[in-house]
Structure 1
Amino acid sequence: MPSADRGIQPRRRPRQVRAELTRERILTAAAHVFAEHGYAAGTTNRIAERAGVSIGSLYQYFPNKDAILAELLVRHIDRGSWTAPDRLDLSPGSLEAAVRTWVRDAVANHGEDPQLLRIMIEEAPLSRELLDTVDRHGRIRVGRVRDLLARHPDVHVGDLDTAAELIVFTVEMNTHKVMADPRGIPVETFENELVAMVTRYLRGDDPRT
């Protein structure tokens, strides 16, 4: 795993309500500024002006705009979730519906402004918190997929652990790409094709049929 950049760690974690509200204003303002102006032109001065705080106040919480973007990506990841296997139908013939639920979860998790999503994916530096967040959510999602693979009667794969890792990576990475540029492939078409591909793989269908 790549090492974290210590220069982008947040400087101050609010302990009082007022300070937390200020931090929230900065993050909300940054999301708007990055989406409207792009990352290069989304300066800390613009963010502070949009948030209604002084530049000095902004620097009390974040050392630079890289740290702000890293925090936005952490929050983006933390908000996302995949449906737990115990809430899915595990009866024979239900595998496609279960896969579709997870694909729709991934699409819903990436519902931000496409421009902001693209900036977060392409520009966000690696903070320690971001690396930990990615690892934590990755383990949760892989664990949920593996649980379903182990219990669903229609699943026929050679190795459960590898299959679970492949599914999470395939769904997440492709959803990132499509949702960051929704003009490329219609979301409905993307969903149907990805669900079909993953379902065929899990059922062990012969690719020649």
Structure 2
Amino acid sequence: MFIMSQQPVDRPRRGHPDDTRERLVRAAAEMFNTHGYAGTDVRRIVAAAGYATGTFYRHFPHKGAALLAAYEAWVVAEWEALGAAILAPGSAGERAERIIDISADLHARWHGLRDALAGYRLVDENATRAYRELQRRQVAILARLREQISPGTTRPPEADVLLVMLIERAVESMAIGEPAELGLSWDTMRALLIRAVTDALRDGDHRT
């Protein structure tokens, strides 16, 4: 889950092409997260990764492709973390608290990357198609997790997806300081989110 870290990228050494691509994706994630879509170019990415421009173009046709790869890696890392939080031992309330705190942390630390993708989607319709495909993957992951914690549940998938959308909107608002600007308490919002997730986890969950 390299995307979870914001540590400086080490000086690269010759290695497998997959390692080179991963290093480029990691550097791209850092740059887009810091400088946004418009403020990031290929030169900035390769400088952060420690490669020449030609190396970048052996792996990606343009910076937008690198952004999509970085966002995909972020999504994979996020759901690995959330999956572990859901399946780890504990009560429904304890698991719900982990889910909310992990989501809030990841969205706060990587808000710039998500914002960069939103900017890219405005100028390239292929980006929106790629984004929708990632969303479908997330829905499938969510369905598998639900089956693991609640085999044979009758809870509709729309209910779980709606809950995820609610969580994402809430933690995104926290990332840009909306609750404070509106005179609202994030602690109260967090408690309400935890309660909603707890109820969802208990719905058909025979382990708690």
TM over 0.5: yes
Match of 2:99 among 102, 122, 133: 102
Query: 2 CA distance for matches of 1:146 and 1:173?
Result: 25
Q: CA RMSD in A?
A: 3.6
Contact map agreement 2:92 2:198 (CA 8 A) in 1 = yes
Deviation, 1:103, is 1.8
Match of 2:45 in 1: 47
Q: Which stretches in structure 1 are left out of the alignment for 5+ residues?
A: 1-15, 153-158, 205-209
Structure 1 pair 36–80 and aligned structure 2 pair: CA distance change class (3 A) = closer
Once the two structures are superposed, the pairs formed by residues 196-207 of structure 1 within 5 Å of their partners are 196-198=195-197
* Structure showing the higher helix proportion among its residues: 2
2:25–2:70 contact (8 Å) kept in structure 1: yes
**Alignment CA distance shift 1:195-1:176 (3 Å):** same
Residue 52 of structure 1, CA deviation: 2.6
| Equivalent residues of 1:73, 1:120 under 8 A apart | yes
Cα drift, residue 57 of structure 1 = 1.8
Shift of 1:193: 3.1
- Identity of matched residues, %: 22
**Deviation string for 1:182-203 (max 9, x for gaps)?**
5755764442232245557889
> Rg: which structure is higher?
1
Q: Is contact 1:25–1:51 with CA below 8 Å preserved after alignment?
A: yes
Give the superposition deviation at 1:73: 0.6
One-letter amino acid of the counterpart of residue 101, structure 2: R
Cα displacement (A) at 1:27: 1.9
Is the contact between residue 26 and residue 47 of structure 1 (CA under 8 Å) also seen in structure 2?
yes
CA distance change for structure 1 residues 173 and 19 in 2, over 3 Å: closer, same or farther?
Answer: same
SS in 1 for 2:193: helix
Alignment CA distance shift 1:33-1:166 (3 Å): closer
Residue by residue, what CA displacement relative to the aligned partner does 1:102-134 show, whole Å, maximum 9, x if unpaired?
A: 222322443534323432354352465x55443
Distance 1:113 1:54 in 2: 26
**Residue 3 of structure 2: aligned partner:** none
Verify: 1:163 aligned to 2:164, yes or no. Answer: no
Q: Which whole-Å deviations, capped at 9, do the CAs of 1:1-60 have from their partners, x for residues lacking one?
A: xxxxxxxxxxxxxxx943223223322322232233331121112222332322222111
- Judging changes above 3 Å, is the alpha-carbon distance between structure 1 residues 49 and 190 closer, same or farther for their aligned structure 2 residues? same
Tell me the distance in 1 between the aligned counterparts of 2:55 and 2:148: 47
| 1:88–1:120 Cα change, 3 Å | farther
Cα pair 2:31 2:44 within 8 Å, conserved: yes
Larger mean CA deviation between 53-62 and 166-175 belongs to 166-175
TM superposition score normalised by structure 2: 0.64
Match of 1:193 in 2: 192
Task: Indicate the residue corresponding to 2:170 in structure 1.
Answer: 174
